[in-house]
């Protein structure tokens, strides 16, 4: 785990609590900055994602102690929901900080924050799609079916003015309800995220699109994908990272 940074390992621990089990590593670099990395295992609930099990916080090493610090350009809070590749990106940024905590002009975060957020959105894509169907799409379909039945009933049973007024009122009420549900759907975070992802995926090549699906929609590990493609895990990580950067550029393009 994090072989590239093994020589900077300051301490580590394995802990089991009533709620979850976790591994923790403390890394300290020659610039006296470092990171606390926690990997949760076997946890459950809203605060855990099995595909993004790592949390990271920036550290500073004093003469006799190390403490979490948010006084760097890296992060102003604990970074949650990272995978191994994401952790290594942040470790590399922290390693390159100057002694005073500022970032070297040659060091760029290279959209790391945006890429990690995109990963979270991609992993949430299928969940959001199901949520949209349950909360909005199914209700819209039900209303459309009800409207169709109402129209058919009105045509089959033509009554007087009272009947026509009742039909018109019911129809308008259903149309208003449908429009409200559609507006709520369009305004929802789930719809905005999935629509953005759908739009970006259309602009990717078939091979890039398939790799994104394998990694994030089917939730395959980098190792499993590497075995299927007969390439190394590091090549898969680099390819996924390259596609994610391409997706960020598409998202940002006016």
DSSP letter string over 168-185? HHHHHHHHHHHHHHHHHH
- How far apart CA 233 and CA 245 sit, in angstroms, is 18
Q: Each residue of 109-136: b (16+ CB within 10 Å) or e?
A: eeebebbbebbbbbbbbeebbebbeeeb
- Phi, psi at 246, each rounded to 5°: -65, -40
- Token readout for 103 is 């970032």
- Phi, psi at 234, each rounded to 5°: -65, -35
CB 138 within 8 A of CB 181: no
Q: For the chain, 254 residues long, give each residue's pLDDT as a single digit of tens.
A: 788 899 999 999 988 877 778 899 999 999 999 999 999 876 544 456 788 889 999 999 998 888 999 888 888 889 989 999 999 999 999 999 988 888 876 666 667 889 999 999 999 999 999 999 999 999 999 999 998 888 888 777 766 666 778 888 888 999 999 999 999 999 999 999 999 999 999 999 999 999 999 999 999 999 999 999 999 999 999 999 999 999 999 999 87
CB 38 within 8 A of CB 82: no
Per the DSSP assignment, residues forming a β-bridge with 39 are 23, 54
């Amino acid at each position: 785990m994090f072989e590239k940074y093994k020589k900077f390992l300051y301490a580590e621990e394995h802990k089991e609590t009533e709620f979850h089990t976790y591994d923790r590593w403390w890394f300290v670099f020659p610039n006296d900055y470092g990171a606390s990395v926690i990997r949760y295992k076997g946890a459950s609930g809203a605060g855990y994602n099995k595909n993004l099990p790592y949390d990271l916080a920036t550290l500073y090493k004093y003469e006799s102690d190390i403490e979490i610090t948010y006084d760097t350009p890296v992060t102003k809070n604990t970074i949650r929901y990272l995978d191994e590749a994401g952790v290594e990106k942040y470790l590399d940024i922290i390693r390159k900080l100057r002694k005073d905590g500022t970032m070297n002009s040659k060091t760029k975060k290279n959209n790391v924050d945006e890429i990690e957020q995109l990963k979270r959105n991609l992993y949430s894509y299928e969940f959001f799609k199901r949520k949209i169907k349950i909360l909005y799409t199914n209700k819209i379909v039900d209303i459309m079916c009800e409207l169709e039945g109402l129209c058919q009933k009105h045509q089959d049973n033509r009554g007087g003015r009272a009947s026509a007024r009742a039909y018109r009122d019911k129809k308008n009420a259903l149309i208003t309800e449908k429009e409200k549900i559609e507006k709520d759907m369009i305004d929802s975070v789930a719809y905005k995220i999935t629509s953005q992802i759908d739009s970006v995926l259309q602009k990717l090549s078939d091979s890039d699109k398939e790799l994104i699906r394998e990694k994030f929609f089917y939730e395959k590990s980098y190792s499993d994908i590497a075995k299927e493609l007969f390439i190394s895990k590091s090549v898969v990580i680099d390819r996924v990272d390259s596609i994610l950067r391409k997706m960020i550029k598409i998202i940002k393009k006016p």
